[in-house]
Amino acid sequence: MHADKIAVLFFLGLTLLLSGCPDSSTTVDDQGASVSDFDWQMPDWVPLPVEPAYNPITEEKFQLGRHLFYDTDLSANGTISCASCHQQDKAFTDGVARPAGATGDIHPRNSQSLANAAWLRTLTWGNPTLTELEQQIVIPLFGIDPIEHGISEANQNQVLARLQAKPAYQRLFLSAYPDQTEPLFNELAWRNIIHALASFVRGMTSFNSDFDRYTAGDSQALSAAARRGMNLFNSERLECFHCHEGYTLTSSVRDRRRVPNIPAPFNNTGLYNIDGISAYPAPNTGKHELTGQARDMGLFRPQSLRNVALTAPYNHDGSVATLREVILNYAAGGRHLTHGPYAGDGRMNANKDPFIVSFSITEDEISDVIAFLESLTDHAFITHPRYANPWQDDASQDPIP
Ligand code: HEC
Ligand code: HEC
């Protein structure tokens, strides 16, 4: 577990800062529709996401968060930004199995897409306790195992000073936090940064794929292959839909109409079984990292499959190169690794979810399932200026208006 290795006192101080008085207020009607004027860029048929009362989204916080997200000055040595590992053209992933942080530490996990993160019940691949973006974002900024942005108690003032020196932030912080005097200089500065980053990520919505057009009633929006693939995906033979369901394509979902009162889902898909004892390679043991319970070994959150054609390589450690391989692992009822340090037969993993059972599938059917997964790509999302880098080439300049 990485969060507990953050310098404890500093982290506690930040956690206290996260909650507290709301920045401003939003009202929600019974149908889950928000009367805030934030432009969610999403169709009516999708219910709005839950947001914490202490950080209601506003366009001004979203825009400030966007500038911070793309700013390498928000790291200890000025080399890394959120966008280093979360790149728009790859649906906010980075194309590598496991990314490097500011000082070269390799993260044990694969970078996740941020599309529709606002609807997820828990954040990151295997942590049941991270339920709000505001909590999660502390980890890349201040985590020390691995180091991502590398900000610490020792260098935090230096990092802040770099942000404070930028003219663009004077205006952006004031409009995001109009009730505060000097929101980039006062004791809430870090809280303000985290709230703005969370607002930007919360506002990253992706509902503009061929699949969405089909769902909204355009029967021509999906090719015949994608429609066949969708039927396979939703079949009792393949079982995919049990865990990758609904408008988010994951069972880990909550919204303003429905906050499920059952535990958030985590499943073992039989990727490893080292030495035949159901072990996954440390430190990537999933929910088990936090609980230490044998029954939680290898349990990970079902990933949303939106934009999945752009987010290779796959799985929590990026150890699966292609969608075809992902499907073959499922068809085998798990992954059988015959050599290497993690050799073992994942198909025999004792923690494997009952829905992960072998099935027969032809090459044509695999192509159809892939055509369906490709229909989940939202081309508008990955090119939309709203989510793009707002800075000129030199981040010390004023942003593009
Ligand atoms: C060094 C690469 C790297 C950097 C820099 C980075 N991230 Fe991530 N991000 C990751 C990885 C890897 C994960 C999965 C973490 C895990 O499972 O423990 C992740 C997960 C997330 C998630 C959870 C998504 C989900 O589906 O649950 C959010 C939100 C997120 N990052 C936002 C940010 C923000 C905001 C920043 C900038 C402050 C940032 N990240 C910087 C690599 C990075
Ligand atoms: C029992 C629940 C369950 C079922 C059934 C299931 N999945 Fe998954 N899926 C998961 C979980 C959990 C993960 C993450 C596992 C990991 O990385 O360790 C995942 C990961 C994936 C990924 C990788 C996503 C990424 O961003 O890396 C793809 C693609 C995928 N599943 C597609 C499918 C398809 C296609 C089917 C049907 C053949 C299917 N899944 C069936 C739970 C499930």
List, in order of start, the domains of the chain with CATH numbers.
3-206 (1.10.760.10), 210-380 (1.10.760.10)
The answer to whether 115 and 201 are in contact (CB under 8 A) is no
d(CA 183, CA 194): 12
Nearest Cα residue to 303 out of 111, 151, 106, 108: 111
Phi, psi of 87, deg, nearest 5: -100, 130
Burial zone of 336 (CB within 10 Å; 0-12 exposed, 13-18 middle, 19+ buried):
middle
Q: What is the pLDDT of residue 392?
A: 74
Distance of CA 265 from the midpoint of ligand 1 (Å): 20
User: What are the structure tokens assigned to 139, written together?
Assistant: 């980890």
The answer to whether 66 and 387 are in contact (CB under 8 A) is yes
Burial zone of 302 (CB within 10 Å; 0-12 exposed, 13-18 middle, 19+ buried):
buried
Backbone CA torsion sign across 205, 208, 209, 215? positive
Tens-digit pLDDT profile for residues 312-347: 999 999 999 999 999 999 999 999 999 999 999 999
Distance of CA 99 from the midpoint of ligand 1 (Å): 10
- Look-up: residue for tokens 């005097």? 181
Residue 31 — pLDDT band, cuts 50, 70, 90? very low
Mean pLDDT of 276-304: 97
Choosing from 110, 330, 375, 377 the residue with most ligand 2 atoms within 8 A of its CB, the one to mutate for a pocket test is 330
d(CA 19, CA 236): 44
Q: What is the pLDDT of residue 93?
A: 98
Residue 27 — pLDDT band, cuts 50, 70, 90? very low
pLDDT surpasses 70 at 28: no
Nearest Cα residue to 211 out of 235, 233, 238: 233
Ligand 1 pocket member 248 (CB < 6 A): no
Mean pLDDT of 76-102: 98
Tens-digit pLDDT profile for residues 52-69: 999 999 999 999 999 999
Tens-digit pLDDT profile for residues 355-395: 999 999 999 999 999 999 999 999 999 999 999 999 975 44
- Give the predicted TM-score (pTM) of the model: 0.94
d(CA 173, CA 178): 8
Choosing from 121, 134, 136, 316 the residue with most ligand 1 atoms within 8 A of its CB, the one to mutate for a pocket test is 136
Residue 1 — pLDDT band, cuts 50, 70, 90? very low
Tens-digit pLDDT profile for residues 177-213: 999 999 999 999 999 999 999 999 999 999 999 999 9
Ligand 2 pocket member 368 (CB < 6 A): no
Residue 37 — pLDDT band, cuts 50, 70, 90? confident
pLDDT surpasses 60 at 400: no
pLDDT surpasses 80 at 84: yes
d(CA 268, CA 289): 14
Q: What's the CA dihedral at 112, 313, 148, 284 to 10 degrees?
A: 90
Q: Which residue has the higher pLDDT, 3 or 163?
A: 163
Average pLDDT score over the chain: 92
d(CA 171, CA 286): 42
Mean pLDDT of 77-102: 98
Mean pLDDT of 142-165: 97
Residue 24 — pLDDT band, cuts 50, 70, 90? very low
Residue 163 — pLDDT band, cuts 50, 70, 90? very high
Per-residue b or e along 208-226, where b marks 16 or more CB atoms closer than 10 Å to that residue's CB: bbbbbbbbeeeeebbeebb
Ligand 1 pocket member 50 (CB < 6 A): no
- Look-up: residue for tokens 């290795």? 5
d(CA 115, CA 109): 18
Ligand 2 pocket member 111 (CB < 6 A): no
Choosing from 267, 337, 373, 375 the residue with most ligand 2 atoms within 8 A of its CB, the one to mutate for a pocket test is 267
Closest ligand 2 atom to 320 CA: 27
What single-letter amino acid sits at 268? N
For atom 36 of ligand 2, the residue with the nearest CA is 240
Ligand 2 pocket member 303 (CB < 6 A): yes
Ligand 1 pocket member 66 (CB < 6 A): no
pLDDT surpasses 70 at 262: yes
Tens-digit pLDDT profile for residues 205-246: 999 999 999 999 999 999 999 999 999 999 999 999 999 999
Tens-digit pLDDT profile for residues 295-305: 999 999 999 99
The answer to whether 77 and 156 are in contact (CB under 8 A) is no
Ligand 1 pocket member 133 (CB < 6 A): yes
Of all residues in the chain, the percent with pLDDT exceeding 70 is 89
The answer to whether 115 and 91 are in contact (CB under 8 A) is yes
Ligand 1 pocket member 140 (CB < 6 A): yes
Phi, psi of 386, deg, nearest 5: -60, -30
